[in-house]
């Protein structure tokens, strides 16, 4: 009886199975530096920063806030010095 040699398709299947096993091991390993929670926190931080930036840019909020803070600081300086400049 003649032994059958594995053909290229079978070799490809073995390589594919090995690749899939390797990928599964990577996903099972939770000891890596980056986990799902870290990625979720990073994405949430980017969304929050983007929302804050959008609010600051819209409707001249930022320029009004800077003007209000500057006026308040200037009033405090005048009060500390006890004089109206």
pLDDT in tens, 63-82: 888 899 999 999 988 888 88
pLDDT at 34: 67
Tell me the pTM. 0.36
HSE-CB of 65 using CA atoms within 13 angstroms: 8
pLDDT confidence bin for 2, thresholds 50/70/90: low
Contact by Cβ (8 Å): 84, 78: yes
Q: In b/e form, how buried is each residue of 30-52, taking b as 16+ CB within 10 angstroms?
A: eeeeeeeeeeeeeeeeeeeeeee
What would the pLDDT profile of 19-49 be if each residue is shown by its tens digit? 888 777 766 655 556 678 788 888 999 999 9
Residues in the chain: 85
pLDDT at 46: 93
Query: Tell me, what DSSP letter sits at residue 30?
Result: -
């Amino acid at each position: 009886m003649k032994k059958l040699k594995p053909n290229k398709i079978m070799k490809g299947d073995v390589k594919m199975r090995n690749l899939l096993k390797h990928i599964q091991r990577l996903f099972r390993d939770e000891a890596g530096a980056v986990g799902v929670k870290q990625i979720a926190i990073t994405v949430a931080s980017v969304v929050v920063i983007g929302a804050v930036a959008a609010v600051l840019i819209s409707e001249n909020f930022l320029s009004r806030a800077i003007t209000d803070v500057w006026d308040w600081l200037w009033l405090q300086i005048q009060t500390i010095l006890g004089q109206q400049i």
